Structure 1
Amino acid sequence: MKISDIKIFVTCPGRNFVTVKVITDNGLFGLGDATLNGREMAVVAYLQEHVAPCLIGKDAHAIEDIWQYLYKGVYWRKGAVNMAAIAGIDMALWDIKGKVAGLPVYQLLGGKSRKSVGLYAHASGDDIADTLLKAEALMAQGFKAIRLQSAVPGLKVTYGVLGDKENYYELQGNRPLPPEEDWSTPKYFNMVVELFKQAREKLGNDVQLLHDVHSRLTPIESARLGKLLEPYNLLFLEDASIAENQDSYKTIRQHTTTPLAIGETYNTIWDCKDLIQNQLIDYIRTAATHAGGITSLKRIADFAGIYNVKTAPHGAPDLSPICFAAHMHLNAWAPNFGIQEFVGFGTQEAQQIFTHDIQVKDGAAFVSDKPGLGVDFNEDAAALYPYKRSYLPVSRLEDGTLWNW
């Protein structure tokens, strides 16, 4: 069974998505997600000009060889664009293999380790009271794990809180350039501990609580925050600090027992190797779309399991339902799965483009038993929503210094 064609689709039903369709000479096809938020067209060009021509005629069953070909064969290894492109192809090939076998992908990985996949939802509010009201609404829906984010008093915009805006396009107005946001660590500290103090008082101790710092703090500031939040028993503190220097997490780890999670921007196992093997983190949050697909995420999960690190894949709305399905199959299989981030399945328009039978009930998701990944893609519906250039925001300190967004 040979690869006969590879098609790339870019559609924007509220967010941009890059979808890869690998077609074989017997008519079967597979789907993959190659979305790289804010750099989508770089991946599209890479796929169209440099990847697709090299794969025509190759055996569609040779997933491992093709992965190595696209990783080792380019000489310029790693990188967000390269790994997103590999991911799109890799997911599509796993989808094809499942369809040929007549089995869902999780069966090809080794079968289920659990009946359902635990999810955490987002409660983001304009102030602490608003955040907790939204958290209560999620608990009423059955969610047992909730990420809390609240606007920081004194800052016009806060990560995770869009106010009356629905998406980043609205933040950018009529000029599709990166919006700029201010950041103040002291103002943040004045809010965040009070948020979790009130959360435990109002929500009780049975719900699991999480928080995303989004890399705004230095390691010693993160250490202080982790220690201050210890009384509130977080499931994990996400992206407390940038870890390009992986030794930074030694500083955080030696000062707090609050569990730590990181990895959504990582592209390979090498980005998190030291963090995992030195047991500096508790959850690895790498996403299949950003890190080379199912093949490489399975490697990361296996490696992490040796060191008692759990998986908690990134699940932001800039990943399409194809990526979410890939995560579901991995989550159902991985013996060291922790929890899956969940923000819904996108706009109504997105749900017309990407169809599936993944069920969500009482804060858990149930993987599809359809052959392959279990997601269909409506090309006609996708064509109704053309690409719109968009960027994630840029962050600056109040004195104008560029900071981490």
Structure 2
Amino acid sequence: MKILSAKVIVCSPGRNFVTLKLVTDQGVYGIGDATLNGRELAVVAYLENHVIPCLVGMDPRRIEDIWQYLYRGAYWRRGPVTMRAIAAVDMALWDIKAKLAGMPLYQLLGGRSRDGVMVYGHANGRDIAETVDAVGQYIELGYQAIRAQTGVPGIKDAYGVGRGSLSYEPADAALPTVTGWDTAKALRHVPQLFDKLRATYGFEHQLLHDCHHRYTPREAATLGRALEPFQLFWIEDCTPAENQEAFRLIRHHTTTPLAVGEVFNTIWDVKDLIQNQWIDFVRCSVLGAGGITHLRRIADLAALYQVRTGSHGATDLSPVTMGCALHFDTWVPNFGIQEYMRHSDATDEVFPHDYRFERGLLYCGEAPGHGVDIDEALAAKHPYQPACLPVTRLEDGTLWNW
């Protein structure tokens, strides 16, 4: 059995997606997600110029060997472009192998560890009152866990405040727009949000908050301690973690659970965080971390230290990644939670899928493979549109972490 052909499909049904399709000489095909939000065409070039020429003629059943070939065989390893290209190949290969076996993907991974996957939605508002109302809407939809974000007085276009819909796409212009930030204002305002949420809805539902790499370690520790009375499920990305030891200080000063990892690409990016138990949840995704093959290794390492998974699942990942993530979540023993930002109707039409949402849980389907396909004719009606993520500046003009 051989890979007969491969192609990259770029489309924009409300936002840009990059999809890899591998076709075998037996007519079985698999698809994978290669989207890198705001840098999509860099991955397209990597796939078309460097990866696909190597894949044609390979045996698609040799998933591990192909993964090693694409990772070890490239002297310039790691990084978001390389690892997302590898992830796309890996997803497509697992899709093919599960189809050949006539099984849903989770069965090949080892079978079910749970029936459904707890997910969290994104509630946001321009102010606290609007966010409180949004959380109530998610509770009415059946969510057991909700991420809450609010506008902060005096901060221009605060992170996480969407445009009034369940789907949210921050990449909003051909060139980066500029948003604002002020740590002192946020540290005063964010605890007020969660005080109001607990006063309104009690402690029955899990609440989460995304800091989006905005705080220094000391500031993050201050926020974590201020939020302790409200018993958050986690605070996410509270400081940039290129220096993994930054989380040592935060861990020593707050018991609020810590989650990080959506921008990480390999096990080396989280090794110290996990081994030193400085975090509670690792948020690497199937797409960002080089596919199912590599994410399994990260999850296995995390399990040794009672760190659970909490995979990134925003709309910068296509339904292909979500389908793979749900099969992975259904299997992985140390599962924590899955992010679930709903895609637009147009995206769901281009990527038909068999996963479903019921009472706060997502369920992967039982179709052979990962259960997600692409309608190429419909995709062609949504051509690529340049769109960049914003940048952030402080009030004095200093560039900050978006």
TM-score class, shorter-chain normalisation, is over 0.9
Amino acid at match of 1:397: L
Checking the alignment, whether the CA contact within 8 Å between 2:274 and 2:302 is kept in structure 1 is yes
Cα deviation code 1:58-112 (max 9, x no counterpart): 1010000000000000111101000000000000000000000000110000000
Cα deviation code 1:117-173 (max 9, x no counterpart): 00111101010010010101111111110000000111220101134696446x43x
Separation (CA, whole Å) in 1 of partners of 2:400 and 2:179: 10
1:24-43 aligned at under 5 Å gives the runs 24-43=24-43
Separation (CA, whole Å) in 1 of partners of 2:297 and 2:107: 17
Q: CA deviation at 1:187?
A: 1.2
Checking the alignment, whether the CA contact within 8 Å between 1:168 and 1:390 is kept in structure 2 is no
User: Any gaps of 5 or more consecutive residues in structure 1?
Assistant: none
Q: CA deviation at 1:366?
A: 0.9
Correspondent of 2:395 among 380, 395, 398: 398
Separation (CA, whole Å) in 2 of partners of 1:295 and 1:52: 19
Correspondent of 1:316 among 314, 317, 327: 314
Separation (CA, whole Å) in 1 of partners of 2:371 and 2:140: 29
Q: Which residue pairs with 1:372 in the alignment?
A: 369
Separation (CA, whole Å) in 2 of partners of 1:163 and 1:97: 40
Identical counterparts, % of pairs: 54
Checking the alignment, whether the CA contact within 8 Å between 1:126 and 1:163 is kept in structure 2 is no
Please state whether the residue corresponding to 1:254 is helix, strand or coil.
Answer: helix
Separation (CA, whole Å) in 2 of partners of 1:286 and 1:94: 18
User: Any gaps of 5 or more consecutive residues in structure 2?
Assistant: none
The answer to whether residue 369 in structure 2 is matched with residue 358 in structure 1 is no
Q: Which residue pairs with 2:141 in the alignment?
A: 141
Q: CA deviation at 1:186?
A: 1.0
Amino acid at match of 2:138: L
Please state whether the residue corresponding to 2:373 is helix, strand or coil.
Answer: strand
Separation (CA, whole Å) in 2 of partners of 1:211 and 1:162: 15
Please state whether the residue corresponding to 1:30 is helix, strand or coil.
Answer: strand
Separation (CA, whole Å) in 2 of partners of 1:205 and 1:42: 44
Please state whether the residue corresponding to 1:192 is helix, strand or coil.
Answer: helix
Normalised to the residue count of structure 2, the TM-score between the two structures is 0.98
Please state whether the residue corresponding to 1:365 is helix, strand or coil.
Answer: strand
Correspondent of 1:307 among 305, 308, 313: 305
Please state whether the residue corresponding to 2:47 is helix, strand or coil.
Answer: helix
Q: Which residue pairs with 1:240 in the alignment?
A: 238
Please state whether the residue corresponding to 2:95 is helix, strand or coil.
Answer: helix
Amino acid at match of 1:334: V
1:165-180 aligned at under 5 Å gives the runs 167-168=169-170, 171-172=172-173, 176-180=174-178
Amino acid at match of 1:37: N
Amino acid at match of 1:404: N
1:156-171 aligned at under 5 Å gives the runs 156-163=156-163, 167-168=169-170, 171=172
1:187-206 aligned at under 5 Å gives the runs 187-206=185-204
Please state whether the residue corresponding to 2:274 is helix, strand or coil.
Answer: helix
The answer to whether residue 276 in structure 2 is matched with residue 278 in structure 1 is yes
Checking the alignment, whether the CA contact within 8 Å between 1:3 and 1:60 is kept in structure 2 is yes
Checking the alignment, whether the CA contact within 8 Å between 1:22 and 1:92 is kept in structure 2 is yes
Separation (CA, whole Å) in 2 of partners of 1:299 and 1:108: 16
Q: CA deviation at 1:264?
A: 0.2
1:6-405 aligned at under 5 Å gives the runs 6-163=6-163, 167-168=169-170, 171-172=172-173, 176-344=174-342, 346-405=343-402
Separation (CA, whole Å) in 2 of partners of 1:185 and 1:393: 18
Cα deviation code 1:28-62 (max 9, x no counterpart): 10010000001100000000000000111010100
Question: May I ask how many residue pairs the two structures share in their alignment?
Answer: 400
